[in-house]
Amino acid sequence: MKYLYETHLHTRESSLCAGASAVEQVHYYKQRGYTGIIVTDHFLNGNSTSPGYHNQEQDLDLTWEDHLDYLLAGYRAAKACGDKIGLDVFYGLEFTFKGGTDLLIYGLDESFMYANPWLNRLSLPELSALCRANNAYVAQAHPYRERSYITTPGPVDPQYLDGVEVYNATDPDASNSQAMAFAKAHGLPMQSGSDIHHVSQETLGGIFLNQRAESIHCIIEAIKTGAVELI
């Protein structure tokens, strides 16, 4: 038996660009036969619903805890719904650097987020080191995507990555092929994801596991060891 997981998903509670609510996403994936999802809403330095940011360098009058209420809202709603209907829901985030470089991060829980304020200010080397010191995982999302808002396209230094999203369901085949070539050239683990923002999206990605994941770290280990089948 195979167990199917979504690795790249947004909710309108926490991602400004998403049209689907957390509950809608959970029911959609349950209907599509997925075992679970990783909610990867945009972080404070990306297109999050938290007021005042959206790639600006200002804190306004909100505390870090205030921001986290927005950043975690989608995951919390999805987790509550998933527990009710039998869909595994794990926490992740999409971290954006200036220029449009996006990283998918798994393995940082809510307690870590509260204990480590203003993570959005970290450089790539700092972020990578912090994640690795805390058994978290960093993959570059859609490294060869071409969009008007991406001013520095292309992959980052591979020494700071633990994996690469080689299939993004919203990107063209050419971009995904380049991402796969990059991952293979540097011996980086590969993953597939939908990057879903609306439940009208029919083309999906994801990974098959041989065993049901008891935690996000089970998924991380499976990706790192190549024990996954990619959509």
pLDDT score for 62? 86
CB 204 within 8 A of CB 194: yes
Distance CA 126, CA 130 (A): 6
Check: pTM over 0.75? Answer yes or no: yes
Q: Is the dihedral of CA 39, 123, 188, 216 positive or negative?
A: negative
Query: Would you give the distance in Å from CA 206 to the centre of its chain?
Result: 12
Kindly report, residue by residue over 144-168, the tens digit of the pLDDT: 999 988 999 899 999 999 999 999 9
Beta strand spans in 43-158 (E): 88-96, 102-106, 137-140
pLDDT of residue 214: 98
Q: What is the Cα–Cα distance from 122 to 35, expressed in whole angstroms?
A: 33
Task: List, edge to edge, every strand of the sheet that includes 88-96.
Answer: 190-193, 163-168, 137-140, 102-106, 88-96, 36-42, 3-6, 207-209, 229-230
Q: Given this model, what pLDDT does residue 205 score?
A: 98
106 Cβ contact partners less than 8 Å away, ≥ 6 residues apart: 38, 90, 91, 92, 136, 137, 139, 216, 219, 220
Q: Give pLDDT, residue 55.
A: 47
Tell me the pLDDT of the chain averaged across its residues: 95
Could you report the average pLDDT of every consecutive run of 10 residues in the chain (231 residues)?
97 97 98 98 94 57 91 98 98 95 98 96 97 98 94 95 98 98 98 98 98 98 98 95
Beta strand pairing status for 137-140 and 207-209?
Answer: unpaired
Q: Rounded to an integer, what distance in angstroms lies between the CA atom of residue 88 and that of residue 119?
A: 26
Q: Which pLDDT score, from 0 to 100, does residue 149 have?
A: 87
Is domain 3-212 in CATH 3.20.20.140, yes or no? yes
